[in-house]
Every structure is written in structure tokens, then in C-alpha cells.
Amino acid sequence: MSIHTVARMSFAVAFSLYVTPLLAQSSSVPSDYRLVWSDEFNGNGLPDPQKWVYDTEANKTGWYNNEKQYYAVKRVETTKVENGKLVITARKERLTTASDYGGQAYTSARLITRGKASWTYGYYEIRARLPCGAGTWPAFWMLGPDEIPWPDNGEIDIMEQVGNAPSKITGTIHTKATEGTFGVGGETTIRDVCGKFHTYNLTWTPKEISIGVDERRYFGYQNPGKGTKSWPFDTPHYLLINLAIGGDMAGKINDKIFPVSMDIDYVRVYQKAD
């Protein structure tokens, strides 16, 4: 999920030399990796504050990509842990009493690990059941250090999907070299993402980034060896999970879908054992 609006363009042909087809490859935890961080979402109530913080930086000014939601903080109506899952719910409502209210007609949530945990390289798994309905835009993604401006810090979109095309799952990277485009990525089709849980995954090494779902990796991007402009992925990145509403990618919103939820079973991070 690009944090800034970019011009609509198909995945850049100029980077085709570094993109590898991975349609038939298995995607499971590498045998020489170990679990270093996870949230299994046990218990009840709000998400664990030792692992997650709420991102609200653009509530007042309006969110990127012309999104229409207000991201609420510590509110079980939008984020709650129950029955072993994290539930993020978008609602049609106006939180006019909030100090950073920016006029939005919808609420949702955006959880991040910034300041709590970040990683360089590894294997990442997020098992989730996605929402459906015109206007929804869930995403699992990673960003590099905030002191480096976007897109120079590097963005890895592990999973994006929109309710207007619910079966299409996309994975994308954004760098300084892809600025002004929709990044470089790939897509796959999963017919039942709204009815069943699927595992979305990222394998990130010094040489390559590959993205998949369940037992298939469908996109790979090789390190071209030309420096940080095209490979800003040798620095710690933190995780983001959010459910956006509307915007450039999600399009028209159907108000009849609300409330609409995304259920997350777990988030796990593995790294190569020493």
C-alpha cells in the first residue's frame, strides 16, 4: 500500500530483468529459519501494546491515495482480539469528537510495529480472512526507516486486495527507482479469500524478495546490485496491517457493506538461525 498517491501505471517493464516468475514454487518456512517474533492473538480485548501501536498520522489532514477512513485508537469497535484472532472492523460513522478528526465518514484501524519491532531479512507469515465489499482495501506491508523519505526507504507490500476485485491478490515493492509508478509486482487469483483463511508470506534475503500465498510464490524481485536506489532493503523494516476504505485503488464505496471486518489468525516472523 503506497503511502503516497502515485500515477497509475502497469508494473514497470524496465525492471523485468529483476522480476522472477515463481508460480509453481512451494512457500513454507525454510528449514534453517527460527521463529523470532509472533502474535497469536490470544486473550481478549485490545491488541497487545507491547507489540503494536496505532498509526494516526494523517487522520487530520486526510490519508494518502485519497482514502476515506479515520483510523481510530484503542477502540474495540475497530480493533479487538477475541477467539484467537485480531478483528479489524471498518464502520460507517463519524468520530466528530476526536481531536484529530478530519471529516471522514468511515472508521477503521491501522496497526504497526514501528518503535516496537523491526527486522532485516527473514520469512514472514500472516494468516487472515479478508473482507469483501466494494470499497474495502486491506493490506499487509513493510516500511523502512522513517528518517529516510518514502520511497527511498523501501516499501514491501506483502498483500493487497480490494473488494471491487476480491479474488485478485497483489504483492509489490516500491523504491526510489520505481517512483512515479505503481511499483514493481505481481498478482495471483484466490477465489475464496473472503470466506476462508489463507497464509500470505514474504521471503526476504540479501539477494531477493519473493511474495506468495499458501503454497505458491507468485512474485520475485532480485537485487540488481546497483545500490539503494533500486534495493533499499538492507535496513530494518517494520510491519503494518490496515483496512483502508475507498481511495485510488479501492474505488467506489458501497455503504451497504458496513460494518465489514478482516480477521487475522496470526503474524509470525522467522529469521535464519545463526
Q: Which residues are known catalytic residues?
A: 155, 160
Per the DSSP assignment, residues forming a β-bridge with 35 are 270
Cβ(145)–Cβ(236) below 8 Å: yes
Under a CB-based contact definition with an 8 Å cutoff, are residues 152 and 228 in contact? yes
CB atoms < 10 A from the CB of 144, how many? Answer: 24
Q: 193 and 130 in contact (C-beta within 8 Å)? A: yes
Whole-angstrom distance, CA of residue 220 vs CA of residue 222: 7
Q: What is the distance between the terminal CA atoms of the chain, rounded to a whole angstrom? A: 32
Contact 10/238 with Cβ under 8 angstroms?
no
Looking at residue 204, its amino acid is W
Contact 234, 3 (CB under 8 A): no
d(CA 176, CA 152): 5
Q: Provide the b/e sequence for 206-216 (b: ≥16 CB within 10 Å).
A: eeebbbbbbee
CB 42, CB 84: distance < 8 Å: yes
